[in-house]
């Protein structure tokens, strides 16, 4: 009902004030086109920078503590400074497709161009004393990531 009132009001304004409304419509359409172009350009730049990022993820109690055993190394091979990385850690049992560990990670470490940065993370369901996650030995899991996104 509200949309109908807005449309009728808009038509009435165009009929009563055709020149002014024409200019306003032109300005509004221009702003919408500019906003869409800005978002598309930003997404394209983000994808190009992410394509030049190296992301390594492994269960590693040598580089990391048993309480934070997920070792993530980020290599910024681009010419841009990355200010944020978000990704989803996943683990599957070897030979299986079901995901048994799924956890979002967000890191706001500033990573300059041509710089490498490593960090350690914990995962929900980890019993570090026994080496199991959600009842599954960590040696039976394949660790990876997906849905990586960056901020710059």
Between CA 30 and CA 61 the distance in angstroms is 55
Residue closest to 90 by CA, chosen among 63, 58, 117, 65: 58
Q: Please say whether the beta carbons of 120 and 64 come within 8 A.
A: yes
pLDDT value, residue 9? 77
Between CA 107 and CA 121 the distance in angstroms is 10
State the average pLDDT over residues 147-151.
Answer: 88
pLDDT value, residue 38? 81
What pLDDT digit, counting tens, does each position of 17-73 carry?
A: 777 777 777 788 778 888 888 887 877 888 888 889 999 999 999 999 999 999 999
Q: How many CB atoms lie within 10 A of CB 69?
A: 23
pTM listed for this prediction: 0.71
* Token pair for 63: 């580089």
CATH class given for the domain over 53-151:
mainly beta
pLDDT value, residue 105? 95
State the average pLDDT over residues 104-131.
Answer: 92
What pLDDT digit, counting tens, does each position of 1-20 carry?
A: 677 777 777 777 777 777 77
Residue closest to 105 by CA, chosen among 81, 67, 70: 70
What pLDDT digit, counting tens, does each position of 61-103 carry?
A: 999 999 999 999 999 999 999 999 999 999 999 999 999 999 9
Residue closest to 107 by CA, chosen among 79, 71, 141: 71
Secondary structure string (H, E, C) spanning the chain: CHHHHHHHHHHHHHHHCHHHHHHHHHHHHHHHHHHHHHHHHHHHHHHHHHHCEEEEEEECCCCCCCCCCEEEEEEECCCCCECEEEEEEEEEECCCCCEEEEEEEEECCCECCCEEEEEEECCCCEECCCCEECCEEHHHEEEEEEEEEEEC
């Amino acid at each position: 009902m509200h949309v109908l009132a807005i449309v009728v009001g808009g038509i009435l304004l165009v009929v009563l004030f055709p020149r002014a409304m024409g200019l306003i419509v032109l300005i509004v359409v221009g702003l919408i086109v500019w906003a869409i172009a800005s978002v598309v350009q930003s997404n394209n730049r983000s994808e190009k920078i992410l394509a030049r990022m190296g992301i390594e993820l492994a269960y590693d109690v040598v580089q990391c503590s048993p309480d934070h055993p997920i070792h993530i190394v980020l290599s910024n091979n681009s010419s841009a400074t990355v200010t944020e990385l978000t990704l989803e850690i996943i683990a599957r049992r070897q030979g299986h497709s079901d995901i048994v560990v799924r956890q979002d990670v967000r890191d706001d470490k500033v990573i300059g161009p041509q710089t490498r940065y490593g960090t350690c993370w914990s995962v929900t369901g980890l019993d570090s004393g026994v080496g199991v996650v959600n009842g599954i030995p960590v040696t039976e899991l394949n660790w990876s990531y997906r849905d990586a996104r960056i901020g710059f």
